Amino acid sequence: MLPTDYVYGGWAASGEIDIMEAVNLSQGNQMKVHGTLHYGREWPGQVSSGTSYTTQGFDPVGEFHTYALEWSKREMRWYVDNVHFATQRSSGWYSQIVGADGFFENVPGDAPFDQPFHLLMNVAVGGNWPGPPDASTELPVEMEVDFVRVFTCSDSPELLAGCATKNRRAERVFGNVPPEIIRVEYDPSISEQDVVTIFGDEDLSPFALGQYVASGSVDMTRVEEVGRGTVTNFAFNSDESVVYWQAPFGFDLSAFSKISFDVKVLVDPRESGGFVMKMDCFYPCGTGDVPLGQIAPGEWQSYSFVLADLLAHSGSSLDLKNVNTPLVIFPDWGNQKGVVFRVDNVRLEK
């Protein structure tokens, strides 16, 4: 089911209730149907919670079976052929919307599942979940629906007291805790300036230096250099890490024309290996890897990338209206250990 009025914003801040989803049924052992909730923030900040039900001795393809949801205030329950297999409660779902001050806020109560939803039924061929159709795909695909029935509980329409069908052994799906709302002080007019220096001698709030380390470690320090003031020093004891400047929310950079930064490599023990930059709009939204090539150790090098070129970069999904990570930089993934380099003057220019 999807929200009829989307009062809390776009998917999935206003919620999605999947009463029954099934993927590639009759193929191998995938006799599973799924019951799931989607909620949280608007994409890409949405989350989901749910579970699957393995059908008991029947193949859902070719036979009619009854799929149902009981939706009471603060609780939802999922059923296949009257078997209650999953329960979720409002303590495990939430809706966070952007308030008038530009910061996220928690919607009180049972949001987003306290609004009218409507039913949607479809049969899809291909898609992100099963993957694209291939030679084994049998067409046409059909779904037959015998009935759709909606009931209310006349004695207790909100709580369904006296009407609920509960199995104590049904799985309790605990859901998600709302993420902490980070209120970072910053000047909202920064994006009106001609040059925004994200890092000169310090980080420009709300941007902050960060790292993603898949293995090993990366030491990040601030050091003084003659003629440059403070610079950021990175020492990679890792082969699978990236460092970046990131804000907790996205910025509209469409008025800017380029991003520039200076790099100096101090140590590079690799036989060969380059460097990579990216710009992200809440990963995996982003430019993808943009090679900087090899950087000879010793001297500061200046790099400048035209944002229009980053948009057009092969494989780029960059959304310039929602950039949270203007610069990600790292030695070539998988080949990083021992590299020490410095970055200075990370700036956006009009």
Which residue is associated with the tokens 């220096």? 197
Three-class SS state of 261: strand
* Site residues for Ca ion per CB under 5 A: 201, 228-229, 344
Closest CB 126 distance from Ca ion, rounded Å = 50
Residues in a beta bridge with 77: 70, 87
By beta-carbon proximity to Ca ion, the closer residue of 70 and 203 is: 203
Q: Is 21 designated active site?
A: yes
Closest separation between CB of residue 340 and Ca ion, Å?
A: 17
CB nearer to Ca ion: pick between 201 and 239:
201
Nearest residue (CB) to Ca ion, 90 versus 260: 260
Given a contact cutoff of 8 angstroms between Cβ atoms, the answer to whether 288 and 278 are in contact is yes
- 123's CB contacts (< 8 A; 6+ apart) are 141, 142, 143
Instruction: Tell me whether residue 96 or residue 232 sits nearer to Ca ion (CB atom).
Output: 232
Give whichever of 26 and 205 is closer to Ca ion, judged by the CB atom. Answer: 205
The tally of CA atoms less than 13 A away on the side-chain side of residue 103 is 12
Among candidates 224, 242, 225, 219, which has minimal Cα distance to 325?
242
Q: How far apart are CA 341 and CA 334, in angstroms?
A: 17
Q: Please return the burial class of 312, using the count of CB atoms within 10 Å of its CB with bins 0-12, 13-18 and 19+.
A: exposed
Angle (CA) 328 332 338, round 5°: 100
Query: Min. distance of Cβ 261 from Ca ion in angstroms?
Result: 11
Residue with smallest beta-carbon separation from Ca ion: 229
**How many Å is the maximal CA-CA distance in the chain?**
79
Cα–Cα nearest to 170, from 226, 86, 80, 70: 86
Is the Cβ of residue 111 or residue 329 nearer to Ca ion in the bound state?
A: 329
Catalytic residue among 21, 171, 240, 349: 21
Please report how close the Cβ of residue 229 comes to Ca ion at its closest, in angstroms.
4
Determine the Cα–Cα distance for residues 343 and 350; give it in Å rounded to an integer. Answer: 21
By the 10 Å C-beta count (0-12 exposed, 13-18 middle, 19+ buried), 315 is classed as exposed
Q: 16, 42, 70, 75: which one is catalytic?
A: 16
- Least distance from Ca ion to the Cβ atom of residue 264, Å: 11
Nearest distance from residue 262's CB to Ca ion, in Å?
A: 8
What are the catalytic residues? Answer: 16, 21
